[in-house]
Chain A
Amino acid sequence: MLLFKKLYRTLFKYKSQFISMILMITLGVGVFVGMNAEWKSLKTDSDRYYDETNYSDYWLYSENAEGFSREDIESVKSVKGVNMAQRRLTVDTVIDGLEKTVSLNVYDEYLVSKNHLVSGEDYDEDKDGVWLNDKFADLNNISLGDIITLKYSTYSIEAKVLGLIKNPEYMYAVENETQLMPEFDNYGYAFVSPDTFKNITGFEVYNQILIKSDMSKEELEKELEKALPVSTLLLERKEQASYAMMLSEIDEGVTFGNLLPVIFLMIAVLTMITTMRRITVNEKLQIGTLKALGFRDAKIIRHYSFYGLFIGVIGALLGIIMGFGLCRMIVNPNTMEGTCFDMPYWRLYAPGWTYIVTAAMVLMLTFISFLSTKNMLKGTAAQALRPQTPKKVKTLLIEKTKLWNRLSFGTIWNIRDIFRSKMRTLMSFTGVLGCVILLVAALGMKDTMSAFLNIMYEDICNYKYGVNIAENSDKESVDSLVRSVDGDTVSTLSINMDGDPYELDIYNVTHDLYHIIDKDNKVIELKNDGAYVCIRIAEKFGVKAGDNISFKIYGQSDEYDVRVAGVVRSIMAESIAISEKYAKEKGIDAPVRMIYTNSEVDSSDYDCVAKVETLQDTIASFDTFMQIMYEMIIIIAVAAIILGIVVLYNLGVMSYTERYKELATLKVVGFKDKAIGRLLIKQNIWITIAGIIVGMPCGKALLAYLISRLAGEYELFTRINWTTYVFTFMLTMGVSVLVSCLIAGKNKNIDMVEAMKGDE
């Protein structure tokens, strides 16, 4: 068909507009699909992992040293609503030769929270050997068949590595809560059969019960209280680090996925509407000619609607490809998410509705072309043939002021042009706005995280070494160690307030090695007259200094009533801080968990020391965490800049095309190329400045919202450095000027002779 030839040639004629529209849609759909595929993939892959391994629903911890007896497990199993239950022992061991911590698991039965086999033999309780985490093994050059020795207390468990495995409970494997990021090479986990363990140590103790049940936590707690004689602590999935981290990562993804891509998608669609309308206006004469030649309206409309469809389909397809590419950068066993999670499955999935939204967008674009063409075809063929009458220019209010007469002609021209092409101006403005919002939010996120780490390491942690105390250590020897190293200490207890677990931290910080900070990140002194609750608890319970709160300690029946002395910022756990002296007054006693000191401690010199880590080590693990953040931020910032460039370029070309004749006139009259270039750049700079002014506070608001959504995990605050504003300003301005120069460069090629002829 001849019209097909025309289609091809028209596409060529408007190639820069069509290419930029396709780019816009690719970018919009790409970010949309990519960000939603990120969480969807994590969810689908982790769910598959949980299902495959029959991941536990509840964890029951014993509060006494004897753990759970055979009777206990039978009672739990007989509780109505408990589908499966199994005992487990988890102890921290040290792997011989490497001196790294390996968490050792012993299951009395193998039903719940099973392993995913990577290589070697599957777990078998009749076999004598050890099943080791594959990632830890790889990073420490341990292979199948090697003999490893795990030291626990005075025992040495020597066994052959029979299989390399992954376990969902260690998907996000951190040794303790001071660590933000897993270090797969420093912390591993292993499984041995109950017989193997018993043969070496001579005892059979299980400190946990894993339960599969469909009951709610409250119901199950009530039932277990009836069934068991001892006090226990029941935790559900979301209170377990691996599950909670994955859940919050998915939640985070949903938040980002619902917010950021909308900005991209909206700008893409809005730009499309403007551009498509402008193109049909430019094509009005062609449209009229076809009509005059006798083509039916329907055929012409179909022809022009096809442009929208064509651009939409190409853009959407490229966008989906880009989305999955983007997603693969994040959801990847070797990069970003891979440094957090140890999972066997890393397949990518996009939510079904993202395809529906994408398809709807393509249809909408087609519909936009349809409407714009229909608009041009109104009335008779003769009317259609007439060029679109330009909108009447209205006198603006500011023209009545004295100032107006003193403005240069370029300024007047640009102001009138802005008001005449309100839609186009609005689009450019929105493009800049989106770019600025995204840049401020992304860079602000980095500022916030840096400030957060700064506070952590400059204000809170003032020590060189953190000494982890082994469980069940002798109090005398711990006390003597504290004295000999001039250390500050913290003890931690799990407490129950209104049915939810929180942390009670008892501090003895007299050596200025560990600090507590308040809401404004100021270091405060922990006085001996009450408890300091963290911001999240203060908000949840609606308490302030002077109020009272009460809690129970797990494993004890007494209820403690304490006065709130102040509100503090607890960066990670939801916790209450009290001084050791105040704890004694209230009759609360707990073993020291950690000693902070500036003296070097050799862990092999003391039985009570589990591990010594330097502050530097801990900072290094945070750095990994930051690295992931940076990569995320770079992706968003790059996307924001591309967005800015494409929108501004597209609209710039449009504005240039529309003013072509006027520019040619100026040139004929004697304006130099540079002077005309300056006119064009001027307008873009105005719009850019307006976009920046509005965008900066909006970006700040977006950041505050994103941080508030993440606040479940950490007690964060928003921080945007002035450098971020300066950088955003310069980057956006740079983009704007660059695009303007590209377009201004075109005026060298204005054909004055052609342009002076009449409208064709």
Chain B
Amino acid sequence: MSKIIEFINVTKTYTSGEHTLNALDNVSFELEKGSVVVVLGPSGAGKSTLLNLLGGLDSPTSGRIVVNGRDISDLSRNELSDYRASTVGFVFQFYNLIQTLTVRENVELVKEITPNAVDPIDMLERVGLKDHKNNFPGELSGGEQQRVSIARALAKNPEIILCDEPTGALDSETGAMVLNTLQELAVNNGKTVVIVTHNQNIAKMADTVIRVKNGRIKSFENNDVTLSAFDIEW
């Protein structure tokens, strides 16, 4: 397997008034293509910051982040938009679907920004929601909405899928279904899936587990044996 993501001495400092906070403090690691990565840590540890930097929502204060051989640490706003449009797909705790668009339209909208977009219907079929394509998000359950947001992330055909507490708002059964979908993407399609969570159990399905605390990496482990999402106990 080849490396797809590289963090080199990355520091992110937030300043508010006289206070400065190092959300990430000199962090370095490498991730393999097609792996499922789980980032664990208590709230405030810096795991969301890590995800935001990786997703191009924010830029590091110092250090370099290399994705697919390209340094993204110094990109302009527009270049970052392009990066987000072509390389990463996001899945959020609260789905963040557009309420006035139907399920199908929510997925379809990525066609406006990337030439690599794949057929939205195929993506919906893949997450098992093809029959709901003409429903509005408000008419679906939480798990279904989260799967729509996965379909939207996939429709861009990105290399990397970033998930921020994807099961945070779901019950265990639907949570497992969502995680299973994500796992399949890595195993069958070679996507790199990064999941940020505080739920220790999810780590059991990961190829790589990163534990973060106080802005630093506490441990970085590769699992030899991974469980299927359905076998995880909640």
Contacts and interface: CB of A to CB of B under 8 A. Distances in A.
Interface stretch (B1-9, B97-105, B183-191, B213-221): B97-105
Contacts of B96: 661, 664-665, 668, 756
A662 B84 contact: no
* Residue in B86, B92, B99, B101 with the greatest tally of chain A CB atoms within 10 Å: B99
Contacts of A752: 52, 57
Interface string A672-715: 11010000000000000000000000000000000000000000
Contact of B57 (A662, A666, A753): A753
Interface string A724-760: 0000000000000000000000001000110011110
B58 A409 contact: no
A606 interface: no
Contacts of B169: 758
Contacts of B110: 669-670
Contacts of A672: 77-78, 81-82, 113
A669 B138 contact: no
Interface in B67-124: 77-78, 81-86, 90, 92-94, 96-101, 105, 108-114
B212 to A, nearest CB: 17
Contacts of B113: 669-672, 675
A409 B112 contact: yes
Interface string A166-209: 00000000000000000000000000000000000000000000
A409 B152 CA distance: 14
A667 interface: yes
Given A675-B112, A752-B57, A758-B93, A668 B84 contact: yes
Nearest to A676: B81
Contacts of B94: 756-759
A-side interface mostly: helix
B147 interface: no
Interface residues of B, number: 38
Contacts of A748: 77
A667 B83 CA distance: 12
Interface stretch (A106-114, A225-233, A412-420): A412-420
B99 A670 contact: no
Contacts of A668: 55, 57, 84, 90, 96
Contact of A420 (B48, B52, B100): B100
Contacts of B134: 395
Contacts, number: 92
Contact of B77 (A393, A409, A673, A753): A673
Nearest to B81: A672
B108 A409 contact: yes
B156 interface: yes
B5 to A, nearest CB: 18
Size bracket, chain A contacts: 20 to 34
B136 A393 contact: yes
B207 interface: no
A420 B100 CA distance: 8
Nearest to B84: A670
A294 interface: no
A390 interface: yes
Interface string B30-54: 0000000000000000001000100
B138 A390 contact: yes
A727 to B, nearest CB: 36
A367 B90 CA distance: 45
User: Which of B77, B81, B84, B111 has the largest count of A CB atoms less than 10 A from its CB?
Assistant: B81
Contacts of B25: none
A664 B100 CA distance: 15
Contact of B81 (A408, A412, A667, A753): A667
Interface of A: 390, 392-393, 395, 408-410, 412-413, 416-417, 420, 661-662, 664-673, 675, 748, 752-753, 756-759
8 A-B pairs with the lowest CB-CB distances in the bound complex, closest first: A670-B85, A416-B100, A670-B84, A409-B109, A672-B81, A665-B96, A758-B94, A393-B136
Interface of B: 48, 52, 55, 57-58, 77-78, 81-86, 90, 92-94, 96-101, 105, 108-114, 134, 136, 138, 152, 156, 164, 169
16 contacts: A390-B138, A409-B109, A662-B98, A665-B98, A668-B90, A668-B96, A669-B109, A669-B152, A670-B86, A670-B156, A671-B85, A672-B113, A673-B81, A748-B77, A753-B57, A756-B96
Given A669-B84, A672-B81, 6 more contacts: A409-B112, A662-B100, A665-B98, A669-B85, A670-B82, A758-B169
